[in-house]
Structure 1
Amino acid sequence: MNQSILFPDIQTWNEELNAVTFPAQQSGALIECVASVSYLSQLSEQAINGAQQALDVFEQNRFEIEEQAEQLIEDEEYNAQGMIELIG
């Protein structure tokens, strides 16, 4: 695991994006990451119904989610808003 990318134990539900957002930090820069409900549903192989279930699935799969986000950051796969998106 690349230690230059850090993931604090913080995640929040974003109603507007219908996704869980979580920060990453690389060389002091804060990067917002987004895990969509469709991504979380695909990852967990279950339907996601509501914010709490999305947050629970995120927590249960945190390691895998952070690894994928790390790879996208390393590949500089930012969206137009400068965010990393995990979309299913």
Structure 2
Amino acid sequence: MNASTTAPRRTKQWTLRLDLFEEGDTTKVHAVLDTGDNTLEARTTAHRNPHDPPVPEIGDEYAAARALIDLGHQLLRAGLSDSAENDHSVDG
């Protein structure tokens, strides 16, 4: 393949924002992923077991991880949907 037939390089930047809120034994996260083409949101929580010592960063990690997993699932669904739409538009 020569240089004139290769696709141009494409660069994009996605922005992820995680806002964490502590309310007693509960950590809440609001996650927003801006892809430039789409904005996805997730809201998740983590609850401390009353028998565990209070270590806020553990709740942060659990709640943030759950939000990221949710965003990942949303991205997969969006990709599947976009792929199916693209297949139908090619078929005619």
Do they superpose with TM above 0.5? no
Q: Give the TM-score, by structure 2 length.
A: 0.35
Give the helix-richer structure, 1 or 2: 2
Whose Rg is larger? 2
Q: TM-score, normalised by structure 1?
A: 0.36
Task: Flag the structure with more relative contact order, 1 or 2, with Cα contacts below 8 A and sequence separation at least 6.
Answer: 1
